Amino acid sequence: MSFNQAHLCVVGLGYVGLPLAHSFSRKIENVVGFDVSEARIAELRDGFDRTGELTSEQLQASTLRLSSDPAVIGECDVVIVAVPTPVDKQRRPDLSILESACRTVGANMKRGTTVVFESTVFPGATEDICAPILAAESGLAPGKDFKIAYSPERINPGDKQHPVEKIVKVVSGEDAETTEAMAELYGTIIEAGTHKATSIKVAEAAKVLENTQRDINIALMNELARICRKAGIRTSEVLDAAGTKWNFLPFRPGLVGGHCIGVDPYYLTSKAEELGYHPEVILSGRRINDSMPRYVATEMLQMLASSGFPIRGSRVGVLGVTFKENVPDVRNSKVLELVELLKSFGLEVIAYDPLANSDEVKHEYGFDLSPRDGLSDLDALVVAVQHDVFMNDLGSFIEQNLKNGGALVDLKSILSPQDYEQNYNYWSL
């Protein structure tokens, strides 16, 4: 098959699926983006992408077809599934969205379709869970009437320096022929090249390893930050000094949220435990990172008390609530977990984030975001997210709105201590 003439459908138009579908539509004539959300399709047709991955100009100029009608799946030779795979409240893999997508694809796909999965899963999920659903819903024989493949997503939300085209793509198929076909397909858009994994399970494991490695390294930095706090030294200064060695890895402490680093390790550990192995290092890193909101909240309470401010009723401002800088995504935001903890201690918490969707924050967390001018007369301020929009006048904002002697918590270590230690109780993570 020549992929220039192929019909391709991307299922799921979020942070991963939309940029991918857009990129394919620039190289392949017949590309359709499908999403079950009619509201999502409508806003994309109007030129608005709430994820911020594509501009209005890019959407309006695109030849990408958009639809919420699953019948479009049946028109396509290749179907790429890019839907979320979160964890549940017990931190167990939640494949319900992926399984639902499989049922939709299976019920609509035609004979001869290749179904490619990009969603993060544990090793074996594509072949053991997804393929049987496709077969059951379609009535087609796996490996004969349709083929499956896996190519893990590597998009970094908000990162304009590393778009999908610039990131090496791992591809795998149920057989050598399918793997080669996927390398050819993705090779039409991936300038950085492709890596052909030896099996689907290898590609699945590689994906969860990528974010697990980052999670463990950040956990080490968070543990270092706690030690430095007790030792009375600044973590960032230790890291600057250690970073002068050529092979030192430049990780930093912080709140680990979002839908990747804070989630993917649980997919690996769940599979390990199913296989009879108890993973110690991975789960230890997860415990450290999951405990950071409570650690920060506790330190702030001590800072307020040491400065003579009452705990109950103190006004605490929070700058930024998304899970990382310059993105609107609040899924699994550890900043919002910090907000909830501070409120539980009786503090009056006022949070401002012009990038976050206030309705989504209210719906998911039951918390109302404040306008910028609501962060005034503060007893404490948490600089939580390093949005570009905060940086130009951050110094004057602090001076105008934080009381003298108030607690100033710099989670990103972006402020110079010498500028603030004289007037505030300053601490950087």
**Which residues have a catalytic role annotated?**
260
Task: Tell me phi and psi for residue 173, to 5 degrees.
Answer: -140, 170
In this structure, what token pair is assigned to residue 17?
């699926």
Note whether 71 and 348 are within 8 A (CB).
no
Got the DSSP string for 268-304? HHHHHHHTT---SHHHHHHHHHHTHHHHHHHHHHHHH
* Sign of the dihedral defined by the CA atoms of residues 386, 392, 398, 400, in that order: negative
Q: How many CA atoms lie within 13 A of 225 on its CB side?
A: 26
Place of tokens 């270590």: 413
Note whether 106 and 73 are within 8 A (CB).
no
* Sign of the dihedral defined by the CA atoms of residues 387, 363, 341, 377, in that order: positive
Task: Tell me phi and psi for residue 96, to 5 degrees.
Answer: -60, -40
Q: What angle do CA 155, 159, 162 make, to 5 degrees?
A: 65
Residue 366, SS3 per DSSP = coil
Question: Across the beta sheet with 169-173, what order do the strands follow?
Answer: 65-67, 30-34, 7-11, 78-81, 114-117, 147-150, 169-173, 194-196
Give every CB contact of residue 246 below 8 A, 6+ residues apart in sequence: none
The Cα 93–Cα 264 span in angstroms is: 9
Give every CB contact of residue 30 below 8 A, 6+ residues apart in sequence: 5, 6, 7, 8, 76
Residue among 204, 330, 327, 203 at smallest CA distance from 262:
330
The Cα 245–Cα 306 span in angstroms is: 38
